[in-house]
Structure 1
Amino acid sequence: MNGISHIRRRPAAAFAAVLLAALTGAAGAARADVPTASAARTAAACDGAPIGFASVNALGQNGTTGGLGGPTVTVTTAAELKDYVGRPGPYIIKVSGRIQLGGMITVVANKSILGVGTTAEITGGGLQLGSTTRPGNNVIIRNIKFTNASDDSISVTNKAHHVWIDHNDLSDGYDGLLDIKRESDFVTVSWNHFHHHSKSALVGHSDNYTADIGKLRVTYHHNYFDGTDQRHPRVRFADPVHVFNNYYRANALYGIASTENAGLLVEGNYFQDVAHPTHVGYAESAPGRLVERNNLYVNSGAPETAGTVVEPSTYYAYTLDAPATVPAKVTAGVGVGKIGC
């Protein structure tokens, strides 16, 4: 169960063909208040497709395509952003410049929220994917800087599934920078820079929220947890959560925690100056299960491990980078301005 065999990147030809067809004839983005017919043919994402759980065909959704097929709009104000992320149907929403929010705003299904260039920023608030009555399924968030959130920077909640959070910069929030909870599922978190914060990434609402059992399948790959204190991630109930090829640097409390019978596979990561790379159980939470393999621990403590986990390769194919290459590759590739939005 713990071996790797015949692991390779998931073919993306079909998805790429859809993107190419969508791009053909596109005439550029519209202003938020004037969507055009030609803009409706632009691609849902800046480029590429997710690896990991967001790519899986499940729950009636074949991978994560966001706003593919919907109009493209460009937003520059909080009012415009709130309007378009809450509209029914698919939309490709381009965030231009700095947008000041007063709290969390709700994102509903089939949206791509893409920062333009290197200066797109959401500050003072955050994005909540879905409400109890309006699902936040099939959502892509890419190339945006999140700062000074009054609650979470991004909250994947209320049974949201098929979510791809990629190439963002998250810092200086109030609570969690990125929380995934309340029966959400099939999420990929990739190429993000987490810094200047304590509680980075939570999976699972609470020790008592057992409705999360059988849900919360999440992939974390090629993220940079840069001096953040804890929760990279902290996980309850989920099985499996796949944590591969991430760079951990100077995390003061711990790197990863598996609790409440969660199952984590931690592989190919690079831990530098991390006294407690992995915990099995944490604080008042009961122990989980954690398998580690092929990680590097540089000036770091020994990992805690326990039990067995479901192999993520039973869900999707992936390529594992050599852990020694992770610091250079991740620091060069994470955050905003690395993809062409």
Structure 2
Amino acid sequence: MNLHQGTRRLTPSRTAPGAALLALLLVATALVVTGGSARAATLFSDNFDDGNSTGWTASGGSWSVATDGSGVLRQAGTSADARSRAGSASWTDYTVRARVKPTVFNGSNRFVALTARVQSATSYYYLALRGNNTVELKRLSNGTSTTLASAAVTVTAGTWYGLSLQVSGSTLTGRLENGPVLTATDSQYATGQVGVATFYASAHFDDVLVETVGAPSPTPTTPGPTPTTPAPTTPAPTTPAPTTPPPTGNPVPGQPDGFASVNALGQNGTTGGAGGPVVTATNATDFLNYIDTTGPLVIRVQGVIRISSKQGVRPHKTIIGVGGNAEITGGGLDFYRSYNVIVRNINFTEAEDDAINVGQESHHVWIDHNRFAGAVDGSVDIVRGADYVTVSWNHFDHSDKSMLISHSDGAGSTDIGHLKVSIHHNFFDHSRQRHPRVRFGEPVHVYNNYFLGNDLYAVASTENAGVLVEGNYFENVPFPIYSASGYADSGPGRAVQRNNIFVNSGVPETTGTVVEPSTYYAYQLQPAAGVPAAVTAGAGVGRITG
């Protein structure tokens, strides 16, 4: 298993449960090492595609394995508590993740949940999604619940949500995909199993994954500076922060945020193929036919699709990978006067040109939870008057040219006033350059990304572009931001940095002022110190449903 390439689901053997458990426990004693760094190791996973729930112990409810696109663990009862747990009672520090889909809430205050450090059917920690539109981090002790942290969210029956609950020492961290992060301190339970639960609700559960917590936690999974290296610093912003802070509205899980969510150019946010037929592509012929279809379409990519060059995608499409192994290789996707397109959960590998090219006045494109590796040219290019694009939760895995915004110094006539792009929670993992390189666009909002070991530079603002860089974590990046000096043959741009952390990295070069993205959309800025843990846990493929 290569965690560096995203989570791959490992289903324990169902023909020999004892041997499977032994194998899982053996895995738990090892560290996965990437580039000399301690990484999380897999303790347990189950996607229920084998058709059974061997290894799970249920209490209450009506549990079975069913089909919801793929195998799921279904709890159908709505008249009582229901719980099911798995794993070892001796597990200590770990993160448990799952996809959760509430199907019926029998009342407004009912919930579905992910559990950790389970002692019994009535004692554990849990992260609950409630029908009254809250997410709560709680402790259950002999049947008595205590709320440790909570936040308001939108919870809708029939919608998949990504949940994760990390227990590390006395620190508890609950995360809702593309939503709030809840933290608390509690020392009542030190060890225990994992599980899922409902309270007067029915639900589907899938893609359960348990991983060890890298040490120390919640610091990045690669080592920080040695004692002789200066401690992380947060330089003062080069311009004052706005007197009115940006709105902190939480985006709806599974829906685009940032510029892709803005109502503009006749498009109400980005909905992709919603409302259209759902099809599955397992070969290049079908895939190319589907992306060339007129009208809304949800295209599920299953397995490896080998194409050549850049292939055009018509408007109103959702292209989403199934599981963690969907792959488009050899070629890429091209947007030419296209709009309202979503691309999620795909491994893009070895593209002979660009992996994704958003160009020629295309707009409202959401590129989310993908992995990019080996493209000959750009991983993601946003050029030629494109607009209202969000690039979120992607893993740029040792790529060369990660992201170009505007293709040429001579493109001012098409690009000025356009190229509004949000770039957040991406893992720029030893990628060399263009994270992004920007000409003309404003505002380009680069926030809550993890920049690790970028050889040439991280962000470059040139040709009078306006780039806001905030709440990011830069580690081992010699040139975090270029702006005042331009870059290569391009003239200077404008860049504002604030609330970033720089570890063993150079001094950011900033100048000028930038239009605040909060004039277009609300967003929630995560403290930079927590970005490495959040991004390495959540970015890339295999983290969402497909």
Q: TM-score, normalised by structure 1?
A: 0.87
Q: Any stretches of 5+ residues in structure 1 without a counterpart?
A: 13-46
Query: Are residues 6 and 312 of structure 1, via their aligned partners in 2, closer, same or farther at CA, if it must alter by over 3 Å?
Result: closer
Specify the code of the residue in structure 2 equivalent to 1:287: P
Distance in 2 separating the partners of 1:177 and 1:223: 13
- Counting matched residue pairs gives 303
Quick one: which of 286, 296, 321 aligns to 1:90? Answer: 296
Name 2:241's counterpart in structure 1: 2
Per-residue deviation, 1:77: 1.0
Point out the structure with max Rg over C-alpha. 2
Name the aligned partner's letter for residue 376 of structure 2. Answer: Y
Indicate the residue corresponding to 1:169 in structure 2. 371
The alpha-carbon distance between structure 1 residues 173 and 11, as it changes in their structure 2 partners (threshold 3 A), is closer
Identity %: 58
Large movers: runs of 4+ above 3 Å: none
Out of 254, 270, 279, the residue aligned to residue 457 of structure 2 is 254
CA distance in 1, matches of 2:393, 2:310: 23
Asked if 1:53 corresponds to 2:259, the answer is yes
**Counterparts in 2 of 1:241-320, with a 5 A limit?**
241-280=444-483, 281-320=486-525
Contact preservation (8 Å) 1:10, 1:316:
no
Q: Displacement of 1:197 after TM fit?
A: 1.9
| Contact 2:251/2:257 (<8 A) preserved | no
Show the counterpart of 1:37. Answer: none
State the shift of 1:6 in Å.
5.0
Distance 1:70 1:158 in 2: 25
User: Separation in 2 of the partners of 1:11 and 1:172?
Assistant: 31
Q: Is the 8 A contact 1:10 1:51 kept in 2?
A: no
Aligned counterpart, 1:322? 527
Q: Say which structure is richer in helix.
A: 1
- The 10-residue stretch of structure 1 (135-144 or 1-10) with the greater mean CA deviation from structure 2: 1-10
Deviation at 1:267, TM superposition (A): 0.1
**Alpha-carbon offset, residue 104 of structure 1:** 1.2
CA distance in 2, matches of 1:282, 1:231: 11
TM-aligned CA deviation for residue 244 of structure 1? 0.2
Greater relative contact order, per chain length (Cα 8 Å cut-off, separation 6+): 1
Aligned to 1:125: 331
Q: Distance in 2 between matches of 1:209 and 1:236?
A: 9
Q: Aligned partners of 2:309, 2:288: CA distance in 1, in Å?
A: 11
Provide the C-alpha distance between the structure 2 equivalents of 1:10 and 1:180, rounded to a whole number of angstroms. 26
Match 2:356 to one of 142, 151, 154: 154
Answer whether contact 2:335 2:358 (CA < 8 A) is retained. Answer: yes
CA distance in 2, matches of 1:74, 1:5: 44
| Correspondence 1:28-39 to 2 at 5 A | none
Deviation at 1:2, TM superposition (A): 2.9
User: How far apart are the structure 2 equivalents of 1:279 and 1:11?
Assistant: 30
Note if 1:140 corresponds to 2:342.
yes
CA RMSD of aligned residues (A): 1.1
Return the match for 2:283 from 62, 73, 77: 77
1:79 positional shift: 1.1
- Determine the C-alpha separation between the residues in 2 that align with 1:99 and 1:271: 34
Distance, in Å, in 2 between the alignment partners of 1:224 and 1:6 is: 24
User: How far apart are the structure 1 equivalents of 2:241 and 2:492?
Assistant: 20
Matches within 5 A, 1:228-247: 228-247=431-450
Q: Which runs of 5+ in 2 are unaligned?
A: 1-239
Return the alpha-carbon distance in structure 1 between the equivalents of residues 249 and 326 of structure 2: 30
What amino acid sits opposite 2:267 in the alignment? Q
Distance in 2 of aligned mates of 1:6 and 1:165: 23
Q: CA deviation at 1:129?
A: 1.3
Q: Report the secondary structure of 1:330's partner residue.
A: helix
The CA deviation string for residues 45-66 of structure 1, in whole angstroms up to 9 with x for no partner, is: xx61111000000000010000
